[in-house]
Amino acid sequence: MNPVSNQPTGATTSMHALSLSTATRTAIQQEVLRYPHFRTALLPSLKLAQREIGYLPPSILNEVADLVGVSHAAAYELTTFYSMLHTKPHGRLAVEVCVQLPCGFCGGERLLKQLEAGLGIKPGETTQDGMLSLHRTPECMGGCHRSPMVRIGDHYVENLTAKADVDALCAELQAGRIPTTKGTLNHDCHPATANANASKKPIEYTPILLPRQPRSTQVSLAEYQASRGYEGLKQALQKQPAEVIEIVKQSNLRGRGGAAFSAGMKWSFVPKAAGPKYLVVNADESEPGTFKDRELMEVESHMLLEGMAIASYAIGCKEAFLYLRGEYVEAGDRMRAAIGEAEQQGLLGKNILGSGFELKIHVFLGAGAYICGEETALLESLEGNRPMPRSRPPFPAISGLYSKPTVVNNVETICNVPHILLHGADWFKKIGPNEKSAGPKIYCLSGWVNRPGNYELPLGAVTFRELIEHWGMGMRDGAKIKGVLPAGISAPIVPADQLDAKLDYEGVAGAGSMLGSASLIVIPEDVSIVRAATRMLEFFRHESCGKCTPCREGTQWLHKILLRFEQGRGEPKDLDLLLSLSNQISGKVLCALGDFATSPVTATIKHFRPEYLAAILNGQGARDAQGTTDWSQRG
């Protein structure tokens, strides 16, 4: 290591003398005063410090710890947990290439190879001048509909399908510039291959949550208000909080984060007694193949704010948190801007619309940890602790953030709320074929389809096949479908012969899987399922928090065995071991992540056992149909 060349730009002092500027110290001191508890400021403060220094060496960690008022070790423990915080020098422009599903087989690996060649560094390496570093990340970054993609600092560069674009990217990077985001139009993902012959859609539907598609620019307050924005809030404020809860309960709105629990019911669990209560909106959208909350926040920011205001009013919350995954910097900035607009118009802040109701919304960004999507881990993260799931009971509604009653809802769930208040529970129930789980649902469609994207449809109105054919414009290159992962990589794969199942909770369950957050990753026939499963387990191994034994040890063990299969070093009896270990993890872990981690193994073995056996035949390893041994030729 050359300590001089690894110094961040502008830093001329030697390593031991590193300290924070007055501006950063002041900013940290403000963070400490911002939240109900000082410790919440620890993570934002570490990020502020890293923004200035480039990484977090011991002297800086200690300085931040002292400013926030925690032990030095506490700052270090947080830093080492989150993948976006670095204790070692990191390229000033760190180029992170997603190789998780679907990016991996949609050009991500090809892109990584091209960047290696173009930048002259291997993954994990930093250029001599400390400016550029290249990273292969098994962690999805929410750009699946625009894959392949990279993240460079706070910026996403997406749709890097053309060699010319990659070359241009390399040139920009080598000149020390961060290229601006490319290809942000949702319905314009793979225009060259769009299937012009797609037949007439099976249903006609006017979107409610994403009414302005295709669009990537933020909807202003004026524009939102012009389409009856914040009228739902006005309606709510004229009612008693209990009435609002009852309406939402009556609407049968079920949580869109994956668990599908009745939102109104969840709100009704919050004790009515006085005292602080919190609404926390889960925008830690980290499930591979999921990118709906990102679009909602970037475009329909005010819809989310209005929903948060109504939910807060209903449960008696005066201070709400929007917890975004650390990578969603753009969405976070837009949400902060929208909050500013709304506060200026008296739609947030003190005495909202003259009703006496007040609400402060904090936008809080994580720092790279899938586990924060688990609601109790998210609360731990907000409290400045290592984000590890809590054991339940107590449930957050009784003892959540700072041990106070807390409702945690997904972004999409909350975005439904203004419409329910505006149009009524009965109107909402009529959306879709099933009153019991009604309403609009955004399907994130990604993978080997011609037109991946967010498609809002009535919950359960279409089947897998219809979604892929009519909204996804069919398969790329006319490929056959091997299977579809319906809830990101966390639910069992649905094989090609079951794709006529309806896309609602019951329909997908009937096909042996779960709808979850409805993030459909379409895997083409020629992709090796062994490699796909290995890649998925790489994700779970990388993202396991390590709190409970079966997940911490089991995910690594499963991944190690799968790696052997991928490399052709397995025995048929190892399949039984994989299934047995999955059984030892599933149902014995502390949180759902551990259960999720086993379905890529069990379901792929169930449906594609011959492929596993083929991989170990003569030690040939996992091969795609074309005989390739990795995905660098694809996409």
Partner 1 sequence: MSNLANPTGLSGATTPPPPPPQNPNLVSLTINGKRLTVPKGTLLVEAAKMAGSEIPVFCYHPKLKPVGACRMCLVEIEKNPRLQTACTTPVSEGMVANSVSPNAISGQNAVIEMLLANHPLDCPICDKGGECPLQDNTFKYGQGVSRMQEDKRAKDKAFALSDRIVLDKERCIMCYRCTRFQSEIVGDQALVALDRGGESEIGTQNGESFESPFSGNTIELCPVGALTSRFYRFRSRPWDLKRTPSVCSGCSMGCNTSLHARDGAILRMVARENPGIDDGWLCDKGRFQTLPPVTALGQVTAAEAKQNRPLQPLLRKHGSLQPTTLELALQRTVELLRGYTAVLASPTLTNEAMLALETGLRPMAQQSQFGFLPYVHTPWLLQGKIANLPFAKKIVLLGFDPWTELPVLALWLRKAAQNGGNLVAVGQHNGLFRDSAAWLSVPQDRVGDTTAELLAALTTGKASAPVREAAMKLTCDGPAVLLLHPDLAADASLLFLAQQLAQQLGANGDTGMLGAPALAANARGAQELAPTIASATVSSHGLTGILLLGIDHLVPQSGAKLAVATSRAIEPRSDVEVVLPMLHPYETAGTYTNFTGQRQALLAGGFVGRNVPSDQQLISHLRTALTHRHAGAR
Q: Give me the count of residues in the chain.
A: 635
Q: Which helix (H) or strand (E) holds 382?
A: helix 375-382
In Å, the largest CA–CA distance within the chain is 75
Q: Least distance from C-beta 276 to partner 1, angstroms?
A: 18
- Burial readout 247-267 (b: 16 or more C-beta within 10 A, e: otherwise): bbbebbbbbbbbebebbbbbb
CB 576, min distance to partner 1, A: 10
Could you tell me the smallest distance in angstroms from the CB atom of residue 593 to partner 1?
Answer: 10
Nearer to partner 1 (CB atom), residue 71 or residue 128? 71
Query: CA 5, CA 91: separation in Å to the nearest integer?
Result: 11
Rounded least distance, CB 403 to partner 1, Å: 12
Examine residue 369 and tell whether it contacts partner 1 (CB under 8 A): yes
Torsion (CA) 14, 15, 16, 21 in degrees, nearest 10: 90
**Mask: binding to partner 1, 543-562, rule CB under 8 A, as x and -?**
xxxxxxxx-xxxxxx--xx-
* Nearer CB in complex with partner 1: 77/435: 77
Using the rule CB under 8 A, is 391 a contact of partner 1?
A: yes
Which three-class secondary structure state does DSSP give residue 634?
Answer: coil
Mask for 41-60, x = binds partner 1 (CB under 8 A) = -----------------x--
Nearer to partner 1, 210 or 561 (CB): 561
Count of residues engaged in binding partner 1, rule: CB under 8 A: 45
Count the alpha carbons within 13 Å of 506 in the hemisphere toward its beta carbon. 9
Q: Of 162-170, 343-351, 375-383, 584-592, which segment contacts partner 1 by CB under 8 A? A: 584-592
Residue list 255-294, contact with partner 1 (CB under 8 A): none
Tell me how far apart the alpha carbons of residues 538 and 532 are, in angstroms, rounded to a whole number.
10
- Piece of 192-200, 215-223, 504-512, 588-596 that binds partner 1 (CB under 8 A): 588-596
Least separation, in Å, of the C-beta of 126 and partner 1?
A: 20
Indicate the helix (H) or strand (E) that contains 486.
strand 481-489
Instruction: State in angstroms the smallest separation of the CB of 70 from partner 1.
Output: 7
Angstrom distance (rounded) from CA 280 to CA 551: 26
Should residue 584 be labelled a site residue for partner 1 when binding is judged by CB under 8 A?
A: yes
Stretch that binds partner 1, among 185-193, 476-484, 523-531, 536-544 (CB under 8 A): 536-544
Work out how close the CB of 85 gets to partner 1 at its nearest, in angstroms, rounded to a whole number: 12
Nearer to partner 1, 516 or 550 (CB): 550
DSSP per residue over 416-462, as a string?
HHHHHHHH-HHHHHTSSS-GGG-SEEEEEEEESBSS-EEEEEETTSS
Please, how many CA atoms are within 13 Å of residue 485, restricted to the half-sphere of its CB?
28
Cβ proximity to partner 1, 278 vs 370, nearer residue: 370
CB of 393 to partner 1, least distance (A): 8
Gap between the Cα atoms of 153 and 95, Å rounded: 7
Site for partner 1 in 597-626 (CB under 8 A): none
User: Contact at 8 Å (CB) between 244 and 236?
Assistant: yes
Which residues from 61-80 bind partner 1, rule CB under 8 A?
61-62, 65, 70-77, 80
Confirm or reject binding of residue 587 to partner 1 (CB under 8 A): yes
Q: Using CB under 8 A, which residues numbered 75 to 104 contact partner 1? A: 75-77, 80-81, 87
Q: What is the DSSP string of 408-423?
A: EEEHHHHHHHHHHHHH
Q: Which of 325, 326, 510, 301 is nearest to 415 (CA)?
A: 301
To partner 1, the closest distance from the beta carbon of 208 in angstroms equals 36
* Total Cβ atoms within 10 A of residue 578: 24
Nearer Cβ to partner 1, position 190 or 547?
547
Q: How many CA atoms lie within 13 A of 336 on its CB side?
A: 12
Residue closer to partner 1 by CB (options 462, 575) is 575
Q: How far is the CB of 455 from partner 1 (least distance, A)?
A: 34
Distances (CA, A) of 424 to 105, 352, 457: 44, 22, 19
- Residue 588 CB, shortest distance to partner 1, in Å, is 5
Burial of 326 (0-12, 13-18, 19+ CB in 10 A): buried
**Closest CB 555 distance from partner 1, rounded Å:** 7
CA distance 547 to 533: 23
One character per residue 371-390, x = contact with partner 1 (rule: CB under 8 A)? ---------------x----
Q: Which of 155, 318, 588, 606 binds partner 1 (CB under 8 A)?
A: 588
Query: For binding to partner 1 (CB under 8 A), which residues are involved?
Result: 58, 61-62, 65, 70-77, 80-81, 87, 369, 386, 391, 541-550, 552-557, 560-561, 577, 580, 583-585, 587-590
